[in-house]
């Protein structure tokens, strides 16, 4: 038996040093967290202070006016964002859910693993590359920029986000639920929709909100697909269409085929213009954008957590 190993070591001095190091370093990590939060608070505060001044009813209702003319707004951007996000959702959400179910059923197959892999790869592709892809596929063949092209690239951006979160949520549903339904003779698709999806619904909705938050904030892919349009106004298209007796599909076609603006696009344009009024307005756009994105992001998560606490007590 070796003699007392601690005879060679001054225990109390060792202890004190170790404890000091421990407290110092752990305190440091707390400091880094504070430092990390500072930019967030700074941005939020700045955006609120500078953007608040610009927000009024005109901001939401009117199209941009020429420089120096008061009363301009960014309704083109707001409407454009809404239209494109709707297009993106209609395409991305059903496909994402189908993919999520596929990954639920066949997680370990070759195809299943490649799908999971592709989803991750897709989420890592820079959005500007997706924009170039959208340009080549949706703009060049028809020789003009359009809202539907923007919507499609946003769908590609939304897709991996919704797939990943939906898959997680579906996996959480206990398999006894699925087995019970199948044992009653229900076909797989009915089980998926009426049982699994319903059980995972809140989580899936949260995932969709996160995808929307992502899509609303994207600029790069829209640069070459939607391009921007200071005169984009859905309401006027509808009005025009009714006045000239156009069909529903014609009006819809017009809404989707015009180039369009979006909140982040407008922000990008205005922020770099030499006119102070435009820069001011860009802060207002930033405020709207931040509110939307943060509400969707944090709001959906807290709602989910709240619902979970409710059902599990």
Q: Helix and strand tally (H, E) in the chain?
A: 15, 0
- C-alpha 151/C-alpha 158 separation (Å) is 10
- C-alpha 67/C-alpha 57 separation (Å) is 19
Q: Which is nearer to other proteins, 60 or 102 (CB)?
A: 102
- Which of 124, 141, 274, 313: binder of other proteins (CB under 8 A)? 124
Within 197-256, which residues bind other proteins (CB under 8 A)?
Answer: 213, 216-220, 223-224, 227
- C-alpha 99/C-alpha 89 separation (Å) is 15
Binding segment toward other proteins, per CB under 8 A, in 68-76, 77-85, 92-100, 232-240: 92-100
Task: Provide the minimum distance between the beta carbon of 252 and other proteins in the complex, in angstroms, as a whole number.
Answer: 24
Task: Provide the minimum distance between the beta carbon of 242 and other proteins in the complex, in angstroms, as a whole number.
Answer: 34
Q: Which is nearer to other proteins, 100 or 234 (CB)?
A: 100
Q: Nearest Cα to 131, choosing from 223, 269, 214, 212?
A: 223
157 near other proteins, rule: CB under 8 A: no
60 near other proteins, rule: CB under 8 A: no
Q: Which is nearer to other proteins, 29 or 245 (CB)?
A: 29
Task: Provide the minimum distance between the beta carbon of 15 and other proteins in the complex, in angstroms, as a whole number.
Answer: 6
Helix/strand/coil for 260: strand
Cβ proximity of 169 and 199 under 8 Å: no
Interhelix angle 198-217/300-312, rounded to 10 degrees, is: 170
Binding segment toward other proteins, per CB under 8 A, in 99-107, 170-178, 229-237, 244-252: 99-107
Tell me the residue length of the chain.
Answer: 313
- Which of 98, 142, 172, 201: binder of other proteins (CB under 8 A)? 98
Cβ proximity of 220 and 153 under 8 Å: no
Question: What token pair was written down for 241?
Answer: 């269409």
Cβ proximity of 219 and 265 under 8 Å: yes
149 near other proteins, rule: CB under 8 A: no
57 near other proteins, rule: CB under 8 A: no
21 near other proteins, rule: CB under 8 A: yes
Site string for other proteins, 280-299 (x = CB under 8 A): --xx--x--xx--xx--xx-
Interhelix angle 75-105/263-271, rounded to 10 degrees, is: 130
- Which of 61, 82, 122, 252: binder of other proteins (CB under 8 A)? 122
């Amino acid at each position: 038996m070796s003699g007392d190993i601690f005879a060679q070591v001054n225990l109390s001095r060792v202890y004190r040093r170790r404890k000091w190091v421990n407290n110092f370093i752990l305190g440091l990590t707390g400091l880094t967290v504070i430092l990390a939060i500072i930019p967030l608070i700074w941005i939020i505060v700045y955006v609120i202070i500078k953007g608040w001044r610009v927000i009024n009813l005109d901001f939401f209702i009117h199209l941009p006016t020429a420089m120096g003319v008061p009363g301009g707004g960014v309704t083109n951007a707001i409407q454009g964002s809404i239209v494109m996000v709707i297009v993106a959702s209609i395409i991305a959400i059903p496909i994402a859910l189908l993919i999520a179910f596929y990954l639920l059923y066949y997680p370990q197959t070759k195809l299943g693993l490649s799908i999971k892999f592709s989803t991750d790869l897709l989420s890592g592709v820079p959005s500007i590359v997706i924009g170039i892809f959208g340009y080549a596929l949706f703009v060049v063949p028809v020789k003009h920029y359009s809202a539907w092209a923007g919507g499609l690239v946003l769908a590609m951006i939304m897709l991996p986000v919704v797939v990943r979160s939906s898959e997680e949520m579906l996996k959480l549903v206990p398999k006894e639920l699925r087995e019970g339904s199948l044992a009653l003779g229900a076909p797989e698709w009915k089980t998926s929709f009426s049982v699994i999806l319903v059980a995972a619904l809140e989580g899936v909705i949260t995932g969709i909100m996160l995808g929307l938050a992502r899509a609303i904030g994207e600029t790069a892919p829209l640069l070459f697909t939607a391009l921007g349009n200071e005169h984009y106004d859905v309401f006027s298209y509808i009005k025009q269409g009714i006045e000239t007796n156009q069909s529903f599909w014609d009006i819809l076609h017009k809404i989707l085929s015009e180039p369009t603006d979006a909140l982040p696009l407008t922000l990008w344009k205005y922020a770099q213009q030499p006119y102070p009024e435009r820069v001011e307005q860009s802060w207002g756009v930033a405020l709207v954008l931040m509110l939307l994105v943060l509400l969707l992001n944090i709001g959906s998560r807290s709602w989910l957590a709240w619902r979970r606490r409710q059902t599990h007590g």
